[in-house]
Chains A and B, each alone.
Chain A
Amino acid sequence: MENIKEETIHHTAMKLAEEIKNLSIYKSFYSDVQKLVSSPSVKKEDFKQTLQQAMKEKGLDTKLRNTVFHWVRTQNKQNKLDPLTSLSKASAQWEKRIHKSLNSMCSDLETSLAKIRSQSEQEELADKWNELSTYSLDLSKYRPVYAPKDFLDVLLTLSGYVPFTKEDEPKWEFAHLPLQVKTLDQLRKIYQEWANGEPLLGVNPNMPSTVPGFATLEAERIGLGERVAVLGYAPVIQEYLKKGSPQCLRAKLWSQVLGADVKQQQIIYFNQLKKNVLEVDLMIDKLIFKDVQLTASNDDQYFVFEDLLYQVMLCFSRDGEAARAAGASALRVAVKGRHAPDCLIAFPPSGVIPFHGFTMYATPFCYLYDDPVQLYFMFRAFYMRYWHRLHYISTHPQGIVSLCLLYERLLEANEPLLWIHFRNININPIRVVFKWLMRAFSGHLPPDQLLLLWDAILGYDCLEILPLLALAILSFRKENIFQVNTLQNVDAVLADLSTISVIPLLQLALMKS
């Protein structure tokens, strides 16, 4: 037994040693280690010991550990095979539909998908880069390609792609999809700290601390958080985030967990994306402008950050890394005005055709970073780890289909009366919460509450908290829902979440009654 274990560890180590050479940090890391070896602190006689010691002192040890941690995380996920290949067909058809409608919008507006910007246009855009809200564009004819509601309608037709649907199940439910989702009891095992009723930030920061030397829970969390941040080990920080981060440490801790800190290399990369925005006019740029205007600019929590968001969202559309993470298939489009051989580009490079509200995946980070580059890389890291799962069709356990199914099952099992009420008034219960799930509640919860929720997403590294919160909110407002019987009125009951305290509500739902 021991032997087998040793062997697999050895095998993983060999694989890691091979693959680490392909990672982006390898080159600079290798040269840092070489420099260290030639320094006087590393002795030839006791090479291994002194090198390890020196690496610890220089912080290279932490860097290596975090790299391994991130690498292992990606390995786990990639090895899982898609159990339902039939959904990929649905996904491909949906993407085809989006591209088709984009093309027809293009021909209606007599514009092209991609073209070189004129010199004067480039100059104007560069000039107004920091205040793009003043960059005048006529967007009156541009409409978002689709909204969460349209996406839901597509998801509700998925049954058509699955054979052997049982006769007695309504076609519009997710229940017939042969996907595994957790029960509330299984969730309790994951969110163990919450289920055990341990003190969490976001309930009452003035709660007395159980640790000697700290007056309040908040003081205790800040004290611990500062130590964890100095240590810098991603898995330790992730563990820390389970019980919530104080706002003053969040920016640092989040970027440490995701390995998204900004160095010279990232600044160069961002400027490269910016250059591409200035040079090439993609038709979706207007859709991005439109989306920022429709969402953030009209929101009293985010309007201040409008100009930052234009920059971030435009650059994101040019980022091929995002498409790779999501496994998205982009169109190949010729750039009008550019000559072969490099006139063909992926359209858009990010693979994301913005839908109504896409900007909301980025807005909450404005409360953590006021530098566009930091904001950008944090948003991108979250997108590549989580958000792409919320708007692509897949059978991934963290994908939107599984989350919808989880919500349905949780509601049926834990709020049977509400379930029956929805049946009686003939409303599919997913309809009233879908936009929350698809946007990870961004724009629906006040920013302080939203950031606490996203702490939990990072801390437990999963999105199941979203359907659980949807359930908890419905459960909290159920008396009011029982009083109404139209979709419009249910929506009205659930419209204002400004008084919701996320953490206590979730903890109540997770604690055994």
Chain B
Amino acid sequence: MNPEGKKMAASLYGRVNAPTERCRVSFCTDMEKSVLMSNFERRGWHQVGPDDEWNFYWASTQTCRNLFSVESGYRMNDNQMINHFPNHYELSRKDLLVKNIKRYRKELEREGSPLAEKAEVVLHGGQVVTRYVHLDFIPVTFVLPADYNMFVEEYRKSPQSTWIMKPCGKSQGTGIFLINKLSKLKKWSREAKAPFHPQLSKESYVISRYIDNPLLIGGKKFDLRLYVLVTSFRPLKAYMFQLGFCRFCTVKYDTSVTELDNMYVHLTNVSVQKHGGDYNSIHGGKMSVQNLRLFLEGTRGRAVTEKLFAAIQWLIVHSLKAVSSVMANDRHCFECYGYDIIIDNQLKPWLVEVNASPSLTSTTVNDRIMKYKLIDNILSVVLPPEGVPDVRWNKVPSFEALGNFDLLIDEELLEKEDSTNSTSRTSKNNKK
């Protein structure tokens, strides 16, 4: 190949450039995951303990809460940065997420916003219900025991439907079960209140209408894990990582009652599926979102595929807007959320939950490559061009710094555009 061709090829197949920042940044971390450590090392950062002077802390949610608590009395300086917002649980706790979204809709409704439009829809069970047209992206959900009566009222409307119970404070599929009879719920609540289960009675649960018509590929159910990076809540600045993936159940989807208790059919969590006999450790039941898109475009067409992915972006943006007013918008913070989304067979996406500390453990080789890139791209988006944390920076990363992230929303940029009345600006977010 001639030199010109080579130059062209090099730009076409751009490799990750070696980082330019060579100034020493000191980092601290609670979890010495290899995808984290190798990224920090590649940038030439040096590790310090939590009590030393650090610039960048990759912390557990617990450490972060402690640090921000009044008792700790810790004050961060301008050159410090941490990977969680103090009250991320407004988004990541199942009950609070639902509460915030419900409140957000009510507020919009009160303002008379067109976003809060409602209409009657026919469920595939046949009954007619009133739903938000644009903001109907979480399955009908109640918090138990608090909303028990409201739940029973809703349940009676369609007694044949299945519901899923999840403990609010747990993750990775623990404590989850399905119910299709009210008596089963009553039995559970009696047992939970029994004297020998005192710990259960304190715990609250969410109960949601189970998406019993999921989109199946190869006969199997899956959900999406997408990564969303937020660098500010007010104004909202959020980015979506292109390299999300689908997590597949290892066994065929089956809604028959006999399979209701078989969690390998219903739950896609890797932590659950790993224990199934059919778990494959080479691919780990994971397929990339790009391949999902390829499959849908190939078999269902372009228009519906584009619509689905636009609806997913819409869902993420509005779930973030729903919590933006209650989040403590500390300028030292950023956070990468793991969004779990299920797509139904009408190609409508449903938000299942949001995780504030998505797993950084790699299950396969490709998983490792993807997570390494995720961390690398997060660092380049949240850090100013000089590479040293600085809260005075305007948090507008360059196009190159985005890497595999697409801009979802930047309210500050939107406002500027509005005020300068320029409509020509094209963001990276535009459809490819």
> A residues near B, CB below 8 A?
130-131, 133-134, 205-206, 222, 246-248, 250-251, 297-301, 303-308, 366-370, 446-448, 451, 475-476, 499-501, 504-505, 508-509, 511, 513
Q: Which B residues are CB-close (under 8 A) to A205?
A: 432
CB distance from B76 to the nearest CB of A (A): 39
Q: Which A residues are CB-close (under 8 A) to B72?
A: none
Q: What would be 15 A-B contacts, judged by CB atoms less than 8 Å apart?
A: A248-B302, A298-B283, A299-B282, A303-B283, A304-B220, A307-B218, A369-B299, A370-B217, A447-B294, A448-B290, A451-B294, A499-B13, A500-B13, A501-B13, A504-B8
Are B297 and A508 interface neighbours, CB within 8 A? Answer: no
Are B364 and A304 interface neighbours, CB within 8 A? Answer: no
Pick the residue among A222, A248, A305, A504 that contacts B218 (CB under 8 A): A305
Nearest A residue to B15 by beta-carbon distance? Answer: A499
Are A130 and B219 interface neighbours, CB within 8 A? Answer: yes
Interface flag for B298 (CB, 8 Å): yes
Complex CA distance for A113 and B317, rounded to whole angstroms:
60
Complex CA distance for A369 and B5, rounded to whole angstroms:
37
Complex CA distance for A448 and B219, rounded to whole angstroms:
22
Nearest A residue to B369 by beta-carbon distance? Answer: A498
Are A508 and B298 interface neighbours, CB within 8 A? Answer: no
Given A300-B282, A501-B12, the answer on whether A246 and B302 have CB atoms closer than 8 Å is: yes
Q: Which B residues are CB-close (under 8 A) to A447?
A: 291, 294
Interface centre among A248, A300, A447, A508 (most CB of B within 10 A): A300
Are B299 and A370 interface neighbours, CB within 8 A? Answer: yes
Q: Which A residues are CB-close (under 8 A) to B9?
A: 476, 504-505, 508
Other A-B pairs, 4, CB within 8 Å; known A248-B305, A369-B298, A370-B299: A297-B280, A298-B280, A447-B294, A505-B9
Given A300-B366, A304-B217, A508-B9, the answer on whether A248 and B297 have CB atoms closer than 8 Å is: yes
Q: Per-residue CB proximity of B291-321 to A under 8 Å, as 1/0?
A: 1001101110110010000000000000000
Given A205-B432, A501-B12, the answer on whether A368 and B299 have CB atoms closer than 8 Å is: yes
Q: Which B residues are CB-close (under 8 A) to A248?
A: 297-298, 301-302, 305
Complex CA distance for A134 and B5, rounded to whole angstroms:
51
Q: Which B residues are CB-close (under 8 A) to A511?
A: 5
Complex CA distance for A206 and B282, rounded to whole angstroms:
35
Are A513 and B290 interface neighbours, CB within 8 A? Answer: no
Given A247-B294, A248-B301, the answer on whether A476 and B220 have CB atoms closer than 8 Å is: no
Pick the residue among A246, A299, A446, A513 that contacts B283 (CB under 8 A): A299
Pick the residue among B218, B297, B299 that contacts A304 (CB under 8 A): B218
> B residues near A, CB below 8 A?
1-2, 4-5, 8-9, 12-13, 217-220, 248, 251-252, 278, 280, 282-288, 290-291, 294-295, 297-299, 301-302, 305, 364, 366, 432
CB distance from B347 to the nearest CB of A (A): 14
Q: Which A residues are CB-close (under 8 A) to B299?
A: 251, 367-370
Q: Which A residues are CB-close (under 8 A) to B5?
A: 508, 511, 513
The 10 A-B pairs at the shortest CB distance, nearest first, are namely A300-B283, A248-B302, A513-B2, A304-B218, A247-B297, A368-B298, A298-B282, A367-B298, A248-B297, A508-B5
Are B432 and A508 interface neighbours, CB within 8 A? Answer: no
CB distance from A23 to the nearest CB of B (A): 30
Q: Which A residues are CB-close (under 8 A) to B251?
A: 134
Are B248 and A304 interface neighbours, CB within 8 A? Answer: yes
CB distance from B5 to the nearest CB of A (A): 5
Are B248 and A508 interface neighbours, CB within 8 A? Answer: no
Are A247 and B298 interface neighbours, CB within 8 A? Answer: yes
Are A304 and B298 interface neighbours, CB within 8 A? Answer: no
CB distance from A220 to the nearest CB of B (A): 14
Complex CA distance for A250 and B301, rounded to whole angstroms:
10
CB distance from B337 to the nearest CB of A (A): 24
Given A304-B248, A504-B12, A508-B1, the answer on whether A367 and B286 have CB atoms closer than 8 Å is: no
CB distance from A343 to the nearest CB of B (A): 36
Complex CA distance for A429 and B288, rounded to whole angstroms:
33
Complex CA distance for A247 and B284, rounded to whole angstroms:
27
CB distance from A171 to the nearest CB of B (A): 31
Are A250 and B364 interface neighbours, CB within 8 A? Answer: no
Q: Which A residues are CB-close (under 8 A) to B219?
A: 130-131, 307
Pick the residue among A298, A307, A500, A508 that contacts B8 (CB under 8 A): A508
CB distance from B69 to the nearest CB of A (A): 42
Are B298 and A251 interface neighbours, CB within 8 A? Answer: yes
Q: Which A residues are CB-close (under 8 A) to B366?
A: 300
Nearest B residue to A247 by beta-carbon distance? Answer: B297
Complex CA distance for A509 and B301, rounded to whole angstroms:
33
Q: Which B residues are CB-close (under 8 A) to A206?
A: 432
CB distance from A209 to the nearest CB of B (A): 15
Q: Which A residues are CB-close (under 8 A) to B295?
A: 366-367
Q: Which B residues are CB-close (under 8 A) to A130?
A: 219, 252
Are B218 and A306 interface neighbours, CB within 8 A? Answer: yes
CB distance from A471 to the nearest CB of B (A): 10
Q: Which B residues are CB-close (under 8 A) to A366?
A: 295
Complex CA distance for A202 and B240, rounded to whole angstroms:
24
CB distance from A246 to the nearest CB of B (A): 7
Complex CA distance for A504 and B280, rounded to whole angstroms:
35
Are B287 and A448 interface neighbours, CB within 8 A? Answer: no
Interface centre among A206, A301, A446 (most CB of B within 10 A): A301
Are A304 and B294 interface neighbours, CB within 8 A? Answer: no
Interface centre among B1, B217, B305 (most CB of A within 10 A): B1
Q: Which B residues are CB-close (under 8 A) to A504?
A: 8-9, 12
CB distance from B424 to the nearest CB of A (A): 14
CB distance from A223 to the nearest CB of B (A): 12
Are A301 and B12 interface neighbours, CB within 8 A? Answer: no
CB distance from B330 to the nearest CB of A (A): 38
Complex CA distance for A367 and B292, rounded to whole angstroms:
9
Nearest B residue to A131 by beta-carbon distance? Answer: B252
Are B8 and A367 interface neighbours, CB within 8 A? Answer: no
Q: Which B residues are CB-close (under 8 A) to A300?
A: 282-284, 286-288, 364, 366
Q: Which A residues are CB-close (under 8 A) to B364?
A: 300
Complex CA distance for A308 and B291, rounded to whole angstroms:
17
Nearest A residue to B278 by beta-carbon distance? Answer: A133
CB distance from A319 to the nearest CB of B (A): 23
Nearest B residue to A509 by beta-carbon distance? Answer: B1
Nearest B residue to A297 by beta-carbon distance? Answer: B280
Are B218 and A448 interface neighbours, CB within 8 A? Answer: no
Q: Which A residues are CB-close (under 8 A) to B1?
A: 475-476, 508-509, 513
CB distance from B203 to the nearest CB of A (A): 36
Are A222 and B302 interface neighbours, CB within 8 A? Answer: yes
Q: Which B residues are CB-close (under 8 A) to A308?
A: 218
Are A303 and B287 interface neighbours, CB within 8 A? Answer: yes
CB distance from A381 to the nearest CB of B (A): 17
Complex CA distance for A307 and B248, rounded to whole angstroms:
14
